[in-house]
Amino acid sequence: MTLETTLLPALFGLGTGLALIIAIGAQNAFVLRLGIAARVRIVALIVAICAVSDAVLIAAGVLGIGVVIEKAPIALVIIRIVGSAFLIGYGLLAARRVFRPQTLEPSTQHGSISVKTAALTALALTWLNPHVYLDTIVFLGSVANQQGAAERWWWAGGAMLGSILWFSALGFGARLLRPFFARPNSWRILDALIAVVMLALGIRMAVGF
C-alpha cells in the first residue's frame, strides 16, 4: 500500500464528506441545540447516532445500494412526504417556544429532554430526510466507487471520519456558547432560527427538491 492508495483517498473522502454535512440543516440545528442545553451523555448518544447513521449510509452507497434507490424513486417520495411533515411539525414547536418565554429559561433547558425523545428525534431527522440518501448513498457512494477497488474504502473511511469529527465538534463544542445562552432572549433567537430552518426545509421538501 502507498500514500496514493490509502492516505490521499482518505483525505479526499474527508474533505468531500465535510463539505456535504457542514451546512445549516435540520440535523445540525438539533445537535447544536442539544449540545448547548442537554446533559453530556445525551449529547454523546446523539453524536453517535448521527455519525453511525452516516457511516451506514456511506457504506451502503459504496456497496451499490444507490443504484437500487435510483431505480425505486417511490421510496424517496414516501420518505419526502413523511419527512416534510416531521420537519414542519418540529419547526412549529420551535416557533412556539419563541413565544413562550417561560419555556426558554436556561434552567429548564438542561436535561429537560429524555434520552428516548432525543434519540428518536435524531433518528427521524436523519432517516426521514430524502436528501441524506441522495447525499450519502447516491453521491458519496458514486464518488467512492470511482476510486480503485481498495481505494474506495479508504475514501469512504475518510468521509465517515469527517462525519464523526463534525458532529463531535458541533455537539460538544456548542457548550462553549453556554454563557451567551444564559439569557432567555438568546434561546428565543436560536429557536427562531431553528424554526425558520425547519419550516423552510419542510416546505421545500413537501413541494419537491
pLDDT at 163 over 70: yes
> Confidence class of residue 67 from pLDDT cuts 50, 70 and 90?
low
**What average pLDDT does range 23-40 have in this prediction?**
85
* Phi, psi torsion values for 153, nearest 5 degrees: -75, -30
Q: Which residues contact 13 (CB under 8 A, 6 or more apart)?
A: 140, 144, 154, 155, 156, 157, 158, 159, 160, 161, 162
pTM value? 0.75
pLDDT at 5 over 80: no
**What average pLDDT does range 36-53 have in this prediction?**
93
Tell me the C-alpha distance between 103 and 87, whole Å.
20
pLDDT at 195 over 70: yes
Q: Which residues contact 26 (CB under 8 A, 6 or more apart)?
A: 87, 90, 125, 129, 197, 198, 201
Q: What is the DSSP string of 125-155?
A: HHHT-HHHIIIIIIIIHHHHTTS-TTHHHHH
CB of 136 closer than 8 Å to CB of 65 = no
Least confident of 72-76, 187-191, 202-206: 72-76
First to last CA, the chain: 41
CB of 209 closer than 8 Å to CB of 119 = no
Instruction: Pull the grid cell for residue 170.
Output: 458541533
Q: Which residues contact 127 (CB under 8 A, 6 or more apart)?
A: 53, 79
CB of 199 closer than 8 Å to CB of 87 = yes
> Confidence class of residue 113 from pLDDT cuts 50, 70 and 90?
confident
